[in-house]
Structure 1
Amino acid sequence: MSELTGRLFGEPTVDTVFADRNRLGAMLRFEAALARVQAEAGLIPDEAVPAIAAACDPDLYDIGQLAEATRLAGNPAIPLVKALTARVKAASPEAARFVHWGATSQDVIDTGLALQIVEADAAMAPFRARITAALTTLIQTHRDTLMAGRTLLQHALPTTFGLKCAGWLDSIRYADQRLTQAVNAAARLQFGGAAGTLASLDDAGLRISAPLAEALGLPEAALPWHARRERIADLGAALALHIGVLGKIGRDIALMMQTEVGETFEPAAAGKGGSSAMPHKRNPVGTVVLAAAAARAPGLASTLFAVLPQEHERAVGGWHAEWEVLPDLFRLAAGAASHAAEILEGLEVDADRMRANLDLTQGLPFAEGVTLALAPALGKAEAHALIEAASKTAVAERRPLIEILKSQPQVVAHLDDAALSALFDPSRRLGVASGFIDRVLKDD
């Protein structure tokens, strides 16, 4: 992780979860728990546990030395277990015989990862809760705030900012549910020994597995998953989905921040959003991070899917490709959630500008409603042709559409001034927007 840009795209608490020292700590938690459970089951002497547990302190190990040894060993568990054994041996030669008893390197690394997944998810939870709360407040505040709905970046029918926020909330809730499901499925004990049979423990493997999982606070897998990585890939997909949903919110807000639009603004802060060349600029910052994270996440997640076809009982490179990808996805997801929470909690909304922008198109978005109102009398095709021609005139002459229609005998014969005014009242052209909002709020 870059020290220079890491704070922009990541989040300190989750960055710490995947820092090398914490990764060692998670693996050593497995080793300590394994020794305790095996002693309780009578597989190793009780006297071995204190020396092993005391040596399972990540601060006792030199990360630089382990990193160099990892380069030669092919994974960090091999040099860590050697270093752990040496440290235990210095305290108790007899206890050193029982370090890592019956386990394999992948058991240590995968279970350590499972512990990190749980920890990272917990660290992200407050940001996700803040996003939900902020969106709920925005929906309630702006339920009736009129704005232009936009399709293909062009004005369509009127909508409300409350409904737009309700759409964001509905999406983030789904993404949250998917992420929770994926975390619960992926964060499981890995304990299979050399080839996934726990043969080194003879018939005691199943007696050890359940209490080991309980000791670590993890679910017990039905069987070892050394080369079956579908749950890891699914977790990566859920993280990418979460990031993508936040990217959608960020992109919408960035578009509404454009000078020509000016409807919403990220919260201001000293030194935020400036330009090195233009003193007047108020650039998007958090929304840029959301967009950048959403652009990076699919490629990272695709790596996890690319390595699903792993060879037999242990992979040649596929498992190894996950080691940096999944932490990167967590870092991006946490960073995006942190920025999104800050943006939404302090979002500046210019309701007057939203209403003014709605009037920019001279009433053209209401053409559909007038067409439908005239259709029973004129027929849909004739009504459509009439309003289409009037719309072109309004554009050419830069006049409000309602003025053009009031001069059309075929229109005024069926629609008086009051009826036309009602058709051009955006507050009456919102359909069931309020009902949709109620549905989303009810699901809270």
Structure 2
Amino acid sequence: MTGLFDGVLNHGPLGPLTDDTAWLQALLDTEAALARALADTADPADPEAPTAEQAETIAAACAAHRYDAAALGGAAAGGGNPVIPLVGQLTAQVHRADPGAAGHVHRGATSQDVMDTAAMLLLSRAGRALHGELDLLTADLRTLADRHRSTPMPGRTLLQQALPTTFGAVAAGWASGLGAAADRLDEVLTHGLAAQLGGAVGTLASLGPRGPETAAAFAARLGLPEPDLPWHTERGRVAEAAAALGRVCGAAGTVAQDIVLLAQTEVGEVTEEGGEGTGGSSTMPHKRNPVAAVSALAAARQAPGLVANLFAAQIQEHQRAAGAWHAEWLPLTDLLRRTGSAVSWLRTSAERLRVHPDRMRANLDRTGGLALSERLTTDLAPELGRTEAHRRVAAACRAAVDEGRDPVEVLAEHLRGLRTREQVSALLDPTAYLGAAAVFTDRVTGRTGRTDRTDSEEGNR
């Protein structure tokens, strides 16, 4: 069932990987792995030990379509978690197939073992899909950066025009931030997750001396790392996952916000072009909103609160907490969904993005060269000293603004005998003061000796 807000805030491939069915299947996969691990490590001389055939009978019943998630959710109120009613229903199904196998369902585990392990499976499955989306997005942004390696645009600090940069450098910065966030996510998914099997208080006492061996087999069956010991109240793994997802949202939100700002009517340096029916307004026919970037930003902005909830849940008492681990379920699910939505929408925005180099140049020219005053100061410093050079250039800039005159003319007047009008004009050319923008862009895009391509050759995407 699709929720009213899911089209915006539960967008992309992570939705089906984090819904009730996905959670239910992760819980059941955990139970199936436990049954198989018990059979893997059973004492052949123990007539009460589960057989491989009985384990497979249990595993066969571990299919989400056999159960009603909503009914399980309602029944969870009785014991405080959905595992308790799920185990009851699973046991009943197994009993109908093999009464002997039914006695081995959930053997040795506690409800938190199953919930925590299912959460790790959900993180692994949804996280890998998210990582794939990030790889595609960063590749698109690197291509965009390379295409606009030499496209000058205003750099902005505190939302005001500063020195010029290139759109290639801006897009490279976007790609770099997202790439670093993807790398951190990969580290967490590869090394930060772990199976959970500890029994009531983390000792696996009910499984006797074979407990540690069973825990190892359980982790192996799930494809999750085996922890040194159960981590019922040590929630660093959840916190690290939350931090990695929050970092992804921060990187994605930064890109989305830049696109929204650059697409403002008064700026107009980029637009999203999604075709008929996208970006419109319910009341204003002329609007062309960057709706994909807006949606990405809306999703990303929810991450800090969700991350904070998961960080707060780290403080847990004794061997099993009263409520803190329960408090993780929804924030973790929502954080995965919001992160997936932010990245998926940002991919759409990047695909729709049209860059307007002419508007970038026009905006650069709006200051009449004043944004390049630093370059003029630097050029004069060897002759006048930096302090005096700054004083004279600043005075001329103020006069140009106050008098509404051409900055080049005013600066040439104030610097008569030091620089000609032509020299001042050349020093205020934004295309000649881009610093290492191209070098930094190339570090991200991997450009090695390729010739520059103009916007007219490549198009303005």
**TM-score tier after normalising by the smaller chain length:** over 0.9
> Structure 2: which amino acid aligns with 1:280?
H
* Candidates 75, 82, 88, aligned match of 2:88: 82
Aligned equivalent of 2:432: 428
Counterpart check, 1:92 vs 2:91: no
Which whole-Å deviations, capped at 9, do the CAs of 1:105-160 have from their partners, x for residues lacking one? 11111111111111101222332122111111111111110111111111111111
Aligned equivalent of 1:267: 273
Which whole-Å deviations, capped at 9, do the CAs of 1:60-115 have from their partners, x for residues lacking one? 11223312210111001111111111111122222111111111111111111111
Aligned equivalent of 1:383: 389
Q: Relative to 1, partners in 2 of residues 1:85 and 1:404: Cα closer, same or farther, differing over 3 Å?
A: same
Aligned equivalent of 1:439: 443
Counterpart check, 1:323 vs 2:329: yes
Gaps of 5+ in 1: none
CA distance in 1, matches of 2:64, 2:219: 21
CA distance in 2, matches of 1:332, 1:97: 40
CA distance in 1, matches of 2:338, 2:9: 6
Counterpart check, 1:66 vs 2:72: yes
Aligned equivalent of 1:130: 136
The alignment-based identity, stated in percent, is: 47
CA distance in 1, matches of 2:294, 2:97: 53
Comparing 303-312 and 370-379, the one that deviates more: 370-379
Aligned equivalent of 1:400: 406
Q: Does the Cα contact within 8 Å between 1:406 and 1:412 map onto a contact in 2?
A: yes
Comparing 125-134 and 80-89, the one that deviates more: 125-134
Could you tell me how far 1:396 is from its partner in structure 2? Answer: 2.1
Could you tell me how far 1:48 is from its partner in structure 2? Answer: 2.1
Aligned equivalent of 2:366: 360
| Structure 1 runs (4+) greater than 3 angstroms displaced | none
> Structure 2: which amino acid aligns with 1:195?
V
Aligned equivalent of 2:344: 338
TM-score of the aligned structures, taking structure 2 as reference length = 0.92
Which whole-Å deviations, capped at 9, do the CAs of 1:149-207 have from their partners, x for residues lacking one? 11111111111111111111111111111111222344311111111011011110121
Report 1:30-429 matches (<5 A). 30-43=30-43, 44-46=49-51, 47-408=53-414, 411-429=415-433
Could you tell me how far 1:284 is from its partner in structure 2? Answer: 2.2
RMSD (Å) for aligned C-alpha atoms: 1.7
Which whole-Å deviations, capped at 9, do the CAs of 1:270-308 have from their partners, x for residues lacking one? 211111111111112122122222321101100111111
Q: Aligned pair count? A: 442
> Structure 1: which amino acid aligns with 2:439?
G
Comparing 326-335 and 16-25, the one that deviates more: 16-25
Could you tell me how far 1:417 is from its partner in structure 2? Answer: 4.1
CA distance in 2, matches of 1:98, 1:388: 82
Aligned equivalent of 2:452: none
**Matched position secondary structure for 2:380:** helix
> Structure 2: which amino acid aligns with 1:99?
V
Aligned equivalent of 2:458: none
TM-score of the aligned structures, taking structure 1 as reference length = 0.96
> Structure 2: which amino acid aligns with 1:45?
P
Aligned equivalent of 1:21: 21
CA distance in 2, matches of 1:405, 1:13: 57
> Structure 2: which amino acid aligns with 1:270?
E
**Matched position secondary structure for 1:407:** helix
Comparing 323-332 and 29-38, the one that deviates more: 29-38
Q: Does the Cα contact within 8 Å between 2:142 and 2:444 map onto a contact in 1?
A: no
